[in-house]
């Protein structure tokens, strides 16, 4: 990565995405602050600039193909390439998601539109620009709740959680990550899924025990991987993995 590297973060107006923008900006990257709401994006841009980041708001609703196409055209016209894509925008579906047997299909569809279809739409629109960079990185912000292995661990922290929309959307996102990694295996582009860990943000009414700053760490790590770094991996906070107190905080998670 050079000081002039360009990163696009979707849903960067708040929470973990904002922190990723701040931390990549602190590394010297120019950051494009994806936001679906103009005012919220403009405020985030201002706040990041106040922190010394070369931030530029870009209008981007990941569920709106016209918005996705327009943002790709804008980046092509203004920069001609993209070094880092962080697919961060995500929603949970809220408490109305219900238990599996009561899943409202409208909520399931809405969550997949953002967390899965939105990622594919944005990635496909940005790939021609990522191919123009010397060694682009794609980071899909997933979650430990998408791990099938961790969710079926009766002694693990995810056992009490029974819901289809959000967890299964992240499982699908993990497979989306693996499929892009395979297609791009023989290119310099690396594609990985990140687990921020359980962070206090609007997404969970600030119930998480980690900060957004900590949540951004694994994402920034994957966004700045060296040439010999992994591709097609699920990496991040190891809360749900079988680790002890002396084990590292970050590592590969079970799919
Ligand atoms: P957050 O504070 O609610 O932020 C979510 C961001 O996504 C907001 O900027 C939101 O924009 C944006 N967004 C939602 N729908 C969008 C759309 N259609 N187009 C563009 N942007 C959209 O949540 P967060 O906790 O930072 O979550 C960020 C990512 O981390 C998500 O993918 C989430 O699943 C993942 N994650 C979070 C945790 C956690 O504990 N917090 C754990 C694991 C994974 P608006 O402000 O306009 O709504």
6-252 fold: Rossmann fold (3.40.50)
Which of 34, 38, 89, 145, when mutated, tests ligand 1's pocket best, judged by the most ligand atoms within 8 Å of its CB?
89
41 C-beta closer than 6 A to ligand 1: no
Shortest-distance Cα residue to atom 6 of ligand 1: 11
Give the C-alpha separation, 221 to 243, whole Å: 20
Dump pLDDT digits (tens) for 53-71. Answer: 999 999 999 999 999 999 9
Dump pLDDT digits (tens) for 7-65. Answer: 999 999 999 999 999 999 999 999 999 999 999 999 999 999 999 999 999 999 999 99
Listing DSSP states for 205-235 in one string gives: TT--SB-HHHHHHHHHHHHT--TTS-SS-EE
Half-sphere exposure of residue 37, counting CA atoms within 13 Å on the CB side? Answer: 6
Sheet of 84-87, strand order: 55-59, 30-35, 6-9, 84-87, 137-141, 190-195, 234-237, 250-252
As a whole number, mean pLDDT of residues 224-235 equals: 98
Dump pLDDT digits (tens) for 133-168. Answer: 999 999 999 999 999 999 999 999 999 999 999 999
Q: What per-residue confidence (pLDDT) applies to 58?
A: 98
Report the percent of the chain where pLDDT is more than 90: 95
- Tell me how far the alpha carbon of residue 13 lies from the centroid of ligand 1, in angstroms: 9
Half-sphere exposure of residue 34, counting CA atoms within 13 Å on the CB side? Answer: 32
pTM above 0.85, yes or no: yes
What residues contact 183, with CB distance under 8 A and at least 6 apart? none
Q: Would you list the domain boundaries of the chain?
A: 6-252
């Amino acid at each position: 990565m050079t000081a002039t590297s360009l990163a696009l973060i979707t849903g960067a107006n708040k929470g973990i995405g904002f922190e990723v923008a701040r931390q990549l900006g602190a590394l010297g990257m120019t950051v494009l602050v994806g936001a679906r709401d103009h005012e919220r994006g403009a405020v985030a841009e201002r706040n990041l600039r106040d922190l010394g980041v070369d931030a530029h708001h870009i209008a981007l609703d990941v569920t709106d193909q016209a918005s996705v196409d327009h943002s790709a055209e804008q980046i092509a016209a203004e920069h001609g390439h993209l070094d880092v894509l962080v697919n961060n925008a995500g929603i949970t579906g809220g408490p109305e998601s219900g238990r599996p047997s009561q899943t409202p299909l409208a909520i399931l569809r809405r969550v997949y539109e953002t967390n899965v279809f939105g990622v594919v739409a944005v990635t496909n629109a940005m790939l021609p620009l990522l191919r123009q960079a010397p060694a682009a990185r794609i980071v899909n912000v997933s979650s430990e709740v998408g791990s099938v292995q961790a969710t079926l661990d009766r002694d693990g922290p995810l056992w009490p959680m029974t819901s289809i929309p959000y967890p299964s959307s992240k499982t699908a996102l993990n497979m989306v990550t693996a499929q892009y990694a395979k297609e791009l295996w023989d290119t310099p582009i690396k594609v990985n899924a990140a687990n921020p860990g359980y962070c206090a943000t609007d997404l969970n009414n600030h119930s998480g025990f980690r900060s957004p700053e900590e949540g951004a760490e694994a994402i920034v790590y994957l966004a700045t991987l060296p040439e010999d770094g992994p591709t097609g991996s699920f990496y991040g906070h190891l809360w749900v993995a079988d680790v002890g107190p002396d084990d590292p905080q970050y590592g590969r998670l079970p799919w």
